Copies of this chain bind each other. A is one copy, B any other.
Amino acid sequence: MRSASRDDLNARARIRDAALTRFGKDGFGVSVRAIAEEAGVSPGLVIHHFGSKDKLRAVCDEHVRQVITDTKTASVVSHDPQGFLHTMSRYEEYAGVLGYIIRSIQSGGELGRHLFEMMVVDAEGYLARGVEEGTIRPSREPEKRARWLAANSIGSILVLISTSRPDAEIDFQRVLRDWQREYMLPALEMFTEGLLTERTMLDAYLLYLGDPPEESH
């Protein structure tokens, strides 16, 4: 029976981890053969253990979900406005998971959508707390603001990856460090000082929405 669970897990888990890192580094188009090679096994064994490439990806998705809920890194917009994945990026051990997450969002899978929604509700909670405490300005549409901030954070990272040197080995930790070095200042500037000196555009848009600005004149 399921005695030598060490061997069992070692085989399956090694393939799963190999899939995780290669999916993360090369995208989901990577071949089963490449994953097998990374794990040091034959391509056939990959299918034997997981049934198909799609099911292997599903197992990876579930594994990442689990890691995230376990480590509570769901608190992902975290307690500074510097981005979203930086919390996780501090821990070397999650480097592989990090790449997989970004690929998932980039490729528009089920997991990607799920993670994005998690980040949105997380950001929403964090922003609401800040508004209560008086450190963050209230918004007319708090949920949309949270969604916009999350989309901007992740999106700017995606662009940074896409526009960085060819493809050759993307180091996600380095990407996040670059993001911080490049964008931290303008982001903080924008968040504390704003961009526009006049409120004519906002007021005009609010009027357009049928929500006239400050009727109290």
**B-contacting residues of A (Cβ < 8 Å)?**
29, 80-81, 105-108, 112-113, 116, 134-137, 139-141, 144-145, 147-152, 154-164, 166-167, 182-199, 201-202, 205-206, 209
Contacts and interface: CB of A to CB of B under 8 A. Distances in A.
Number of identical protomers: 2
Contacts of A162: 105-108, 112-113
7 contacts: A113-B163, A145-B190, A151-B155, A151-B159, A152-B156, A190-B194, A191-B195
A148 B182 contact: yes
A151 B144 contact: no
Nearest 7 A-B pairs (CB), nearest first?
A155-B155, A108-B162, A145-B186, A194-B194, A151-B156, A191-B195, A148-B186
Contacts of A206: 185
Contact of A154 (B140, B159, B167, B194): B159
A181 to B, nearest CB: 10
Nearest to A109: B162
